[in-house]
Chain A
Amino acid sequence: MSLGLPTHLSRAANSRALATAARWAGLVCLVAALVNALFSGFGQGVNGASWLTLAMLLPMVALLAVLALLARGRTVALTIAYLAVGTVCTYFYVVAIFLGTPAYRDTNLFVVALPVVAMTLVGGTGTGALAGILWASLGFALAEAAVLLAAVTTDRVFTTDAISLGAYLLLVGVLAFDGLTRGSRGRTQSAIHRAVRDVRLVELRRSLVADLAADTHDTVLSELLALSRSEPGPLSERLRERIDADLQALGRGLPSLTQALAAESIDDDPWYRSDLHRAIEDARDEGLAVDVSGDRSSIARLDETTLRAIGLAVRQCLVNVIRHSGSATAEVALSICDDSLSVMVVDGGRGFAPDSTAGDRLGLRQSVHDRISRVGGTVTVYSSADVGTTVIMVVPCAPEVVA
């Protein structure tokens, strides 16, 4: 349980939400255009020209409705289809309006602006502010071109209308604002993500302390009380047995702490002190759900330099997951064999071409490949667009010490 979308997911979500917003608004414009087409014509009621005008818009309405419903799907092809069909529809719609209403002298009309606005509000494809602005500009330009052509066809004067220009500027303004401000939740959110884990840790501690108090009450405490009430002299057989049992239990650990006493304290545990653990905790603070599998104690077999290299390399892998994958989860899997430890970082998000030379992949090459090869290890990257990315790092380690 936590508050709000983490920054790395909010960017994509925000783009999709803005695209949906634009499409819903565009649909309202098209519906208004349909109503106008039906009821314009000097109050003569619905006539043939009205139906014709209306029919011109239907393919456009259908495509935009599909787009509005496909907020999460792949929409690039559909968006292109919408723009192409929309341009043609806008042209025929405007021609039909001018043929049906001889009184309209120029294109500065609300009824003409409606499909132009709907074309502008194509909403991008949910891929970011700049892309959104480019898609909106393309839609606006195509629609204006269609209106210009329709004006020429029907011998009317072409003038840009204030409404569609205003809608275009408003959309660009909102997208630009979004591009400048999105994701600025920063430290507050990290602190809350960390606090969600702390809250649970404190709950678990409290229940353990309660169990421990009950255990103590039934064992050591009752024996101490029995001793304090005993008459000086030989220890009774019964009390001796009970004390013996208590001491053995303390050696094994009380039932409430069975698993813990054998292990080292947190401060001495190499896992909790490692850069690897810190890298995972930092990624969790960013809102990435990181699962850790495999034997954590195996990292004790790495020398300090290798352990540090692995920690920093995993940090970079997790940063890559946060920045590029769009995935809400990742897994860090440790596995050890005779003389090597492999650490696998897996995400189920958007992958990439491993040999891509894009700047944002430099981190992977420099921080991961270089670091790991300097300590004599190897890195293998599997990535594909649909399945996500798996980075496998194998580093040499000391052979297991048989006690």
Chain B
Amino acid sequence: MNAPRGVATATIVRLRSVPVERTPQRLDPLGVQSAWLLVPLIGATAIGYAVTSTIWHRDQLRSPALAIAAIAVLVLAVAVAAVRTHPGLAPFGRWSHVAVIGLAIVAACLFDASVWGHNLRIQDDWGQIAIALLLIAMPLYRPVLEVLAAAAAGAVVVGALAALQSGTLAIHTGPIVYATVAATPVLALALGGAGYAWTMTGETLRWREVARAGQERLEGELRDTAQRQVAQESAAAFEEIVPFLDGVLARGEITGADRDRAGELASGLRALAVSSVERTWLDETVALALAGRGHADGTVAASRVHDPDRLDRVLTDEQRAIVSALVSTVSELPGLDPASLRIDVAEPEHPSFELTARIAQQRRGIRRELVPYLSALRSVSMETGLRVRAGELTLRFAYPGSRRP
């Protein structure tokens, strides 16, 4: 009787124990979403500087074709960075990071090849500046150590290339000096970005502790609210039972009609108890959201949520908070037909949640409202999808590996 139905405990443990990366993207997804524009702006600055620097080098170019190829590769790196860091495509993963910095390093190498043997100064080359500029924003998305490793790789490559050119440069000094000239911007800006991310995540973790303590102190207040709500709801169930029992007690005898009535009341009460115990967290959340917005329409909440395996138990507290906020925001959309809201949950191995509703509203407005939550869900290791077609809203969030389209 007590064994969990449907999804196995092992699955819950497996899906809940996803390691948390200490990155602003993971710990403060909304803050990072608001800073996204920085990435294309910095990328544009890098491209602008690359073009300007190439023009400065026009008399030192050995191969203009290589110089143009270098800029093209940089444009590709910036495009990958800008697209992959967009809130609509979060999270920005390790391979995107490797691709962005890898492409920037290739671009720097191509530029050095285009001026090889004719270059006069290292300090006005653009390769190291472009790598450095792209690295500034990376610690928002990737762990500090990973970014520092990428920066070290970039610094070694541009440093080595600069040292190898020492024989043909205008100012004569040791190769180590050239290497530091090239490597310093890369290391400085990467470490700067890392310092920012480390401080921000530290502040966020500290605040989480304060928030957790505050939430614990709120427990009494919430318990009081819950008790009153449940008492109020159950009062209705006892409304008919109390006078019936009173009557039987007063008469001191049982009639045939009493027997039938007792049977009816007993089965009604049992059905109510079973249905209220069987209501899942998701059922209650949908009911709360719709009731809060005055959409309570008499539809039994259980029929809105189809979760036969009770897969909502897999969601962590953090995911539940975002899902709850998402459901509540959907229920507040002005064009929503509240009676049509349904959530369907499937796939016990990789739970997949699908919310559907009829909606009379512009797609753009819906996206603007909902994308921040979907992005936040992605930053807590879920996959998401949003489709608005012919007045039908379909919102999907699932654990990676889910097969549902």
Interface residues on B, range: 35 or more
Instruction: Tell me, yes or no, whether B1 is within 8 Å of chain A by CB.
Output: no
Is A263 a contact partner of B228 (Cβ separation < 8 A)? yes
Residues from chain A with a CB closer than 8 A to the CB of B164 are none
Residues from chain A with a CB closer than 8 A to the CB of B263 are 224-225, 228
Residues from chain A with a CB closer than 8 A to the CB of B254 are 227, 230-235
Instruction: Tell me, yes or no, whether B208 is within 8 Å of chain A by CB.
Output: yes
Residues from chain A with a CB closer than 8 A to the CB of B129 are 166
Is A17 a contact partner of B30 (Cβ separation < 8 A)? no
Instruction: Tell me, yes or no, whether A382 is within 8 Å of chain B by CB.
Output: no
How far does the alpha carbon of A71 sit from the alpha carbon of B231 in the complex, in Å?
51
Is A40 a contact partner of B177 (Cβ separation < 8 A)? yes
B346-405 residues at the A interface, CB under 8 angstroms:
372-373, 376, 380
Query: Would you give the 0/1 interface string for A201-243, flagging 1 where the beta carbon is closer than 8 Å to chain B?
Result: 1111110111011001100110111011111111100001001
Choose among B180, B193, B288 the residue that contacts A21 (Cβ–Cβ < 8 A): B193
Known contacts A232-B255, A235-B253, A247-B249; decide if A13 and B199 are in contact (CB<8 Å).
yes
Instruction: Tell me, yes or no, whether A162 is within 8 Å of chain B by CB.
Output: yes
Instruction: Tell me, yes or no, whether B96 is within 8 Å of chain A by CB.
Output: no
How far does the alpha carbon of A216 sit from the alpha carbon of B265 in the complex, in Å?
12
Residues from chain A with a CB closer than 8 A to the CB of B172 are 42, 103
Is B184 a contact partner of A114 (Cβ separation < 8 A)? yes
Q: In the assembled complex, how far is the CB of residue A147 from the closest CB belonging to chain B, in whole angstroms?
A: 16
Q: In the assembled complex, how far is the CB of residue A85 from the closest CB belonging to chain B, in whole angstroms?
A: 21
Instruction: Tell me, yes or no, whether A51 is within 8 Å of chain B by CB.
Output: no
B168-208 residues at the A interface, CB under 8 angstroms:
171-174, 176-177, 180-181, 183-184, 187-189, 191-200, 203-204, 207-208
Q: Which of B5-13, B269-277, B333-341 contacts A (4 or more CB under 8 A)?
A: B269-277
Residues from chain A with a CB closer than 8 A to the CB of B241 are 220, 224
Q: In the assembled complex, how far is the CB of residue B165 from the closest CB belonging to chain A, in whole angstroms?
A: 14
Is A20 a contact partner of B195 (Cβ separation < 8 A)? yes
How far does the alpha carbon of A188 sit from the alpha carbon of B328 in the complex, in Å?
11
Instruction: Tell me, yes or no, whether B318 is within 8 Å of chain A by CB.
Output: yes
A16 nearest CB neighbor, chain B only = B199
Q: In the assembled complex, how far is the CB of residue B32 from the closest CB belonging to chain A, in whole angstroms?
A: 9
B277 nearest CB neighbor, chain A only = A213
Max count, chain A CB within 10 A of own CB: residue among B124, B245, B263? B245
Choose among B194, B211, B277 the residue that contacts A1 (Cβ–Cβ < 8 A): B211
A188 nearest CB neighbor, chain B only = B372
How far does the alpha carbon of A252 sit from the alpha carbon of B203 in the complex, in Å?
48
Choose among A182, A216, A229, A290 the residue that contacts B269 (Cβ–Cβ < 8 A): A216
A44 nearest CB neighbor, chain B only = B174
How far does the alpha carbon of A289 sit from the alpha carbon of B217 in the complex, in Å?
9
Choose among A3, A35, A163 the residue that contacts B30 (Cβ–Cβ < 8 A): A3
Is A40 a contact partner of B242 (Cβ separation < 8 A)? no
Choose among B33, B251, B256, B285 the residue that contacts A202 (Cβ–Cβ < 8 A): B285
How far does the alpha carbon of A194 sit from the alpha carbon of B285 in the complex, in Å?
12
Q: In the assembled complex, how far is the CB of residue B172 from the closest CB belonging to chain A, in whole angstroms?
A: 6
Max count, chain B CB within 10 A of own CB: residue among A14, A191, A203? A191
Instruction: Tell me, yes or no, whether A134 is within 8 Å of chain B by CB.
Output: no
Instruction: Tell me, yes or no, whether A28 is within 8 Å of chain B by CB.
Output: yes
Residues from chain B with a CB closer than 8 A to the CB of A224 are 241, 262-263, 265-266, 269
How many A residues have CB within 8 A of the partner chain? 114
Is B317 a contact partner of A201 (Cβ separation < 8 A)? no
Instruction: Tell me, yes or no, whether A5 is within 8 Å of chain B by CB.
Output: yes
Residues from chain A with a CB closer than 8 A to the CB of B380 are 3
How far does the alpha carbon of A44 sit from the alpha carbon of B244 in the complex, in Å?
107
Is A185 a contact partner of B30 (Cβ separation < 8 A)? yes
Known contacts A234-B252, A260-B230; decide if A3 and B28 are in contact (CB<8 Å).
yes
Choose among B181, B203, B211 the residue that contacts A289 (Cβ–Cβ < 8 A): B211
Specify the main secondary structure of chain A where it touches its partner: helix
Instruction: Tell me, yes or no, whether A300 is within 8 Å of chain B by CB.
Output: no
How far does the alpha carbon of A202 sit from the alpha carbon of B276 in the complex, in Å?
12
Instruction: Tell me, yes or no, whether B224 is within 8 Å of chain A by CB.
Output: yes
Is A329 a contact partner of B123 (Cβ separation < 8 A)? no
Known contacts A20-B199, A213-B273; decide if A220 and B325 are in contact (CB<8 Å).
no
Is A197 a contact partner of B184 (Cβ separation < 8 A)? no
Choose among B214, B226, B227, B328 the residue that contacts A195 (Cβ–Cβ < 8 A): B328
How far does the alpha carbon of A372 sit from the alpha carbon of B309 in the complex, in Å?
56
Residues from chain B with a CB closer than 8 A to the CB of A18 are 196
Residues from chain A with a CB closer than 8 A to the CB of B276 are 209, 212-213
Instruction: Tell me, yes or no, whether A144 is within 8 Å of chain B by CB.
Output: no
B314-333 residues at the A interface, CB under 8 angstroms:
317-318, 320-322, 324-325, 328-329
How far does the alpha carbon of A123 sit from the alpha carbon of B190 in the complex, in Å?
16
Residues from chain A with a CB closer than 8 A to the CB of B223 are 204
How far does the alpha carbon of A241 sit from the alpha carbon of B5 in the complex, in Å?
39
Instruction: Tell me, yes or no, whether A357 is within 8 Å of chain B by CB.
Output: no
Instruction: Tell me, yes or no, whether B29 is within 8 Å of chain A by CB.
Output: yes
Known contacts A22-B192, A25-B191, A195-B322; decide if A3 and B29 are in contact (CB<8 Å).
yes
Instruction: Tell me, yes or no, whether A189 is within 8 Å of chain B by CB.
Output: yes
Q: In the assembled complex, how far is the CB of residue A258 from the closest CB belonging to chain B, in whole angstroms?
A: 8
Residues from chain A with a CB closer than 8 A to the CB of B63 are none
How far does the alpha carbon of A328 sit from the alpha carbon of B211 in the complex, in Å?
8
Is A225 a contact partner of B207 (Cβ separation < 8 A)? no
Instruction: Tell me, yes or no, whether B279 is within 8 Å of chain A by CB.
Output: yes
Q: In the assembled complex, how far is the CB of residue A221 from the closest CB belonging to chain B, in whole angstroms?
A: 5
Known contacts A21-B195, A212-B234, A329-B210; decide if A191 and B224 are in contact (CB<8 Å).
no
Instruction: Tell me, yes or no, whether A93 is within 8 Å of chain B by CB.
Output: no
Choose among B31, B184, B195, B230 the residue that contacts A205 (Cβ–Cβ < 8 A): B230
How far does the alpha carbon of A162 sit from the alpha carbon of B218 in the complex, in Å?
56
Residues from chain B with a CB closer than 8 A to the CB of A196 are 211, 215, 317, 321
Query: Would you give the 0/1 interface string for B135-168, flagging 1 where the beta carbon is closer than 8 Å to chain A?
Result: 0100000000000000000000000000000000
How far does the alpha carbon of A45 sit from the alpha carbon of B228 in the complex, in Å?
82
Known contacts A228-B262, A243-B249, A247-B242; decide if A185 and B199 are in contact (CB<8 Å).
no
B27 nearest CB neighbor, chain A only = A4
Residues from chain A with a CB closer than 8 A to the CB of B41 are 173, 177
Give 9 new A-B contacts, CB below 8 A, not counting A20-B199, A188-B372, A201-B222.
A4-B204, A25-B189, A39-B177, A196-B211, A206-B284, A244-B249, A260-B231, A265-B228, A290-B214
Q: List 18 A-B contacts (CB under 8 A).
A: A9-B203, A10-B31, A25-B191, A26-B188, A43-B174, A103-B172, A110-B123, A163-B123, A188-B325, A191-B328, A192-B322, A194-B325, A212-B230, A224-B262, A232-B254, A234-B254, A250-B238, A289-B215
**What 5 pairs between A and B have smallest CB-CB spacing?**
A289-B214, A25-B192, A260-B227, A24-B195, A227-B262
